[in-house]
């Protein structure tokens, strides 16, 4: 397989006495959806927060496109083209779609906000993702449905020519139809060449869109395997016990 | 998609429909304040023969000025979901600094004013730092500052109790008027700028191929607003002195352009700059703002600095109105009236919603109640009760509309 766009090697992270991540290896490929699964407390959120620069790992290496990089803050991550879409969305209800999509990175002419440029680009991005459910991009986010909000959050992540988009439980709060919509969008992102990391509890979702599955168990990477090599039962075993017959665990590889 | 959007608000009816659905969604803005102001003016106008006279109108503006300026500063803090209870006494302290510099140290008024604003900004920096960096709730920080600033003001005012100001420019702010000709020039200038800015916005959106505000709706709004302003200028240009041969009183009080200038700058900052956008973002969802890479602490501190800086301008207005600064300047009901003004105007106490003009509308409502009930001879106690009730109703409307928006 090609060089992963992002590789983590031996990443450790502790919060006081709690050792949350232990020697985690993790690979992300461009054009693929990599699902990150694991039980509550397995360290999924901590891992992606390390990638996003919100936490700094205690030790461990990050390789971006084969080169060693340091990520010491959210700015470093976004500079590399890593965008993260949080579970709790991180949208401002009181601002409209355009404002939210450009939040923190507003387009300006001099010191004045360039609303027209932002609106055009937001519109183009949403169209490019074939998003047709939003009535007006000048409506406040408060008035959107859960699926629409998720769509806006994802659209914001791809607005920046990003290379890696990390989605934290994007379908957790959605109904059936909206879940389908968001999963289609996830697939489309990968098909457009982005590296997508999908965190999910829902194995149906995982098997529907993922190419590659990484299972965390108690802070350790139990296995990272191709989707076609495993069946859901094995993934469940990886999540609940950290090993499964017939799946080579990462530890065994060493 | 874009073609269906064009249809959506391409008619006046469509625009009205949009507005109505926004109101139903809880985004009522300053509608209650506008309706309230009209209702109050009708009630007081019918009950008192003095209320709707030009003299009283000018009075009302100068009465409301200081509270409005403090309220405009408070909007920045309220937008973050914070509060500054010390803003009133900040005006008192900075007013004292201004007057002491002018009267005791013979500093020119403009240098003294710059110094007073600087002191205000420093005080705001202190408050904002305690809130943003140490994480003490703004309610507690500014409550402590409320008491402490009152103490500083007492010490500054000293044994005599009041410090008089004789400087002509400072006194003119609240006590003199533009000449009628200059008043009209001022009005025409403001109108031209307003129209040009509006046309420019519509034009640039058209050029970018974006949906723009409906042209005839914009014309309607502009004509309405400028019409009301023109009427106000006309009323203010009527001779309102009882003895015109002795002293002539006509024209726009100087304090009005001062307030308009703050309004324009503040509105520009809030709606056209990244800093302003970030203030709304922090007030709407501080965590989202932080994740978007916004320096939330810095925004908080800046908002408190702006609030206290504007309070210093209010301090100057107080000094001008009272011809002096005393230990009660900026005290008693000042702060509560200012918070009330912002909230009555439509600024949310929960953060993320509000604008500069809210402070003016709400400030006028508060001033009209105060002024109207005073003319009708009600005791101060009754005025406080009514103003308190109006504030409570506004905060209630805010809370209920917020609930409505979330359901």
- The string of pLDDT tens digits covering residues A6-59 is 888 988 999 988 888 989 899 999 889 999 998 888 888 889 889 988 888 888
For residues A137 and A98, is the Cβ–Cβ distance under 8 A?
Answer: yes
Any A CB within 8 A of B284 CB: yes
Task: Choose the mutation target among A84, A94, A119 for the interface with B, i.e. most B CBs under 10 Å.
Answer: A94
For residues B376 and B40, is the Cβ–Cβ distance under 8 A?
Answer: no
Tell me, what's the pLDDT at B5?
Answer: 40
Please give, rounded to a whole number of angstroms, the shortest distance from the CA of A171 to a CA of chain B.
Answer: 19
Any A CB within 8 A of B285 CB: yes
Cβ pairs A/B, distance under 8 A? 91
CA distance B44 to A56: 64
For residues B356 and B266, is the Cβ–Cβ distance under 8 A?
Answer: yes
Of A86, A94, A112, the CB nearest to B280: A94
Place of tokens 């060449």: A193
With CB atoms and an 8 Å threshold, state whether B210 touches A120.
yes
With CB atoms and an 8 Å threshold, state whether A90 touches B291.
yes
Residues pairing with A13 in the sheet? A21
Residues of B in contact with A136 (CB under 8 A): 5, 8, 211
Please give, rounded to a whole number of angstroms, the shortest distance from the CA of A158 to a CA of chain B.
Answer: 14
> DSSP secondary-structure letter at B211?
-
Burial code (b: 16+ CB inside 10 Å, e: under 16) for B213-250 equals ebeebbeeeeeeebeeeeebbeebbeebeeeeeeeebb
Residues of B in contact with A82 (CB under 8 A): none
With CB atoms and an 8 Å threshold, state whether B8 touches A111.
no
Please give, rounded to a whole number of angstroms, the shortest distance from the CA of B295 to a CA of chain A.
Answer: 9
With CB atoms and an 8 Å threshold, state whether A113 touches B288.
no
Of B8, B205, B352, the CB nearest to A94: B352
Nearest Cα residue to B351 out of A149, A138, A101, A94: A94
Average pLDDT, chain A: 85
pLDDT in tens, A151-185: 888 888 888 878 899 998 888 878 788 888 888 88
Beta strands per DSSP E along chain A: 6-15, 18-28, 33-38, 59-64, 67-69, 82-85, 108-109, 112-113, 164-168, 195-199, 212-217, 220-226
Residues of B in contact with A152 (CB under 8 A): none
Of A86, A93, A138, the CB nearest to B291: A86
For residues B81 and B347, is the Cβ–Cβ distance under 8 A?
Answer: no
Topology classification of domain A6-91+162-253: Rossmann fold (3.40.50)
Please give, rounded to a whole number of angstroms, the shortest distance from the CA of A27 to a CA of chain B.
Answer: 24
CA distance A231 to A233: 6
Statement: residue A201 has pLDDT above 70:
yes
Rg of chain A, C-alpha, whole Å: 18
CB count in 10 Å sphere of residue B277: 22
With CB atoms and an 8 Å threshold, state whether B285 touches A142.
no
* Domain residue ranges in chain A: 6-91+162-253
Tell me, what's the pLDDT at B242?
Answer: 80
Please tell me whether the overall predicted TM-score, pTM, comes out greater than 0.90 for this model: no
Angle A172-A173-A177 from CA coordinates, rounded to 5°: 95
Residues of B in contact with A138 (CB under 8 A): 211
pLDDT in tens, B270-326: 999 999 999 999 999 998 898 888 899 999 999 999 999 999 999 999 999 999 998
Statement: residue B88 has pLDDT above 60:
yes
């Amino acid at each position: 397989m090609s060089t992963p766009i992002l590789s983590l090697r031996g990443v450790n992270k502790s919060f006081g006495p709690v050792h949350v991540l232990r020697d985690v290896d993790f690979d992300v490929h461009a054009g693929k959806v990599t699902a990150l699964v694991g039980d509550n407390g397995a360290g999924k959120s901590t891992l992606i927060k390390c990638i996003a620069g919100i936490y700094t790992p205690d030790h461990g290496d990050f390789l971006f496109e084969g080169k060693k990089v340091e990520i010491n803050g959210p700015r470093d991550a976004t500079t590399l083209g890593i965008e993260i879409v949080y579970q709790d969305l991180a949208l401002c209800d009181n601002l409209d779609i355009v404002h939210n999509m450009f939040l923190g990175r507003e387009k300006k002419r001099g010191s004045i906000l360039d609303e027209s440029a932002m609106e055009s680009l937001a519109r183009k991005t949403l169209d490019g993702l074939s998003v047709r459910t939003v009535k007006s991009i000048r409506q406040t986010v408060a008035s959107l449905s859960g699926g629409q909000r998720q769509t806006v959050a994802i659209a914001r992540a791809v607005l920046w020519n990003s290379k890696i988009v990390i989605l934290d439980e994007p379908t957790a709060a959605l109904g059936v139809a909206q879940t389908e919509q968001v999963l289609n969008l996830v697939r489309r992102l990968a098909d457009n060449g982005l590296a997508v990391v999908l965190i999910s509890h829902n194995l149906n979702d995982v098997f529907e869109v993922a190419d590659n599955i990484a299972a965390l168990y108690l802070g350790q990477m139990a296995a990272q395997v191709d989707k076609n090599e495993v069946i859901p039962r094995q993934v469940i075993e990886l999540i609940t016990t950290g090993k499964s017959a017939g799946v080579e665990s990462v530890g065994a590889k060493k | 998609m874009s073609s269906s959007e064009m249809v959506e608000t391409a008619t006046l009816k469509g625009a009205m429909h949009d507005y109505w659905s926004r109101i139903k969604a809880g985004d009522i803005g300053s509608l209650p304040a506008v309706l309230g102001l009209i209702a109050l003016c009708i009630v007081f106008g019918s009950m008192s023969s003095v209320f709707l006279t030009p003299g009283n109108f000018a009075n009302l503006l100068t009465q409301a000025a200081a509270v409005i300026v403090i309220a405009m500063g408070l909007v920045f803090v309220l937008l973050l979901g914070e509060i500054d209870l010390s803003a009133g006494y900040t005006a008192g302290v900075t007013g004292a600094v201004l007057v002491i510099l002018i009267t005791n140290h013979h500093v020119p008024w403009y240098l003294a004013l710059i110094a007073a604003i600087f002191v205000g900004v420093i005080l705001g920096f202190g408050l904002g730092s305690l809130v943003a960096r140490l994480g003490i709730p703004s309610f507690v920080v500014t409550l402590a500052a409320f008491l402490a600033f009152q103490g500083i003001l007492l010490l500054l005012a000293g044994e005599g109790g009041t410090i008089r100001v004789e400087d002509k420019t400072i006194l003119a702010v609240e006590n003199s008027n533009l000449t009628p000709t200059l008043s009209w020039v001022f009005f025409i200038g403001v109108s031209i700028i307003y129209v040009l800015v509006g046309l420019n916005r519509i034009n640039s959106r058209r050029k970018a191929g974006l949906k723009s505000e409906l042209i005839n709706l914009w014309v309607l709004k502009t004509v309405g607003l400028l019409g009301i302003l023109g009427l106000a200028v006309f009323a203010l240009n009527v001779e309102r002195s009882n003895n015109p041969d002795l002293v002539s009183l006509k024209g726009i009080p100087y304090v009005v352009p001062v307030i308009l200038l703050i309004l324009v700058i503040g509105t520009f900052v809030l709606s056209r700059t990244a800093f302003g956008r970030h203030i709304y973002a922090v007030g709407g969802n501080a965590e989202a703002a932080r994740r978007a890479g916004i320096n939330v602490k810095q925004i908080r501190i800046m908002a408190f600095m702006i609030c206290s800086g504007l309070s210093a301008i209010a301090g100057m207005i107080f000094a001008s109105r009272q011809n002096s600064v005393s230990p009660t300047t900026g005290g008693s009901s000042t702060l509560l009236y200012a918070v009330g003004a912002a909230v009555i105007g439509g600024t949310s106490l929960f953060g993320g919603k509000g604008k500069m003009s809210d402070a003016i509308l709400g400030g006028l409502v508060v001033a009209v109640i105060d002024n109207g009930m005073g003319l009708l001879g009600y005791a101060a106690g009754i005025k406080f009760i009514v103003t308190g009730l109006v504030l409570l109703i506004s905060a209630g409307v805010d809370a209920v509309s917020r609930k409505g928006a979330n359901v």
